[in-house]
Amino acid sequence: MAPPIRITTTLVQVLEVFLEDPAAERYGLDVMRVTGLPSGTMYPILIRLQGLGWLEARWEDIDPARAGRPARRWYRLTPDGVRGARAELAAYRQRHARRPGAVKPELTWDS
Tens of pLDDT, residues 25-70: 999 999 999 999 999 999 999 999 999 999 999 999 999 999 999 9
101: pLDDT strictly greater than 50: yes
Model confidence, pTM = 0.80
Whole-angstrom Cα Rg for the chain: 15
Q: pLDDT-based confidence at 6, cuts 50/70/90? A: confident
Q: Domain boundaries in the chain?
A: 9-61+70-97
Determine the Cα angle at 90 with ends 32 and 93, to 5°.
75
- State the distance between the two ends of the chain, measured CA to CA, in whole angstroms: 37
CATH T-level assignment (fold) for domain 9-61+70-97: Arc Repressor Mutant, subunit A (1.10.10)
The helix or strand, by DSSP H or E, that contains position 79, with its residue range, turns out to be helix 79-97
pLDDT of residue 48: 95
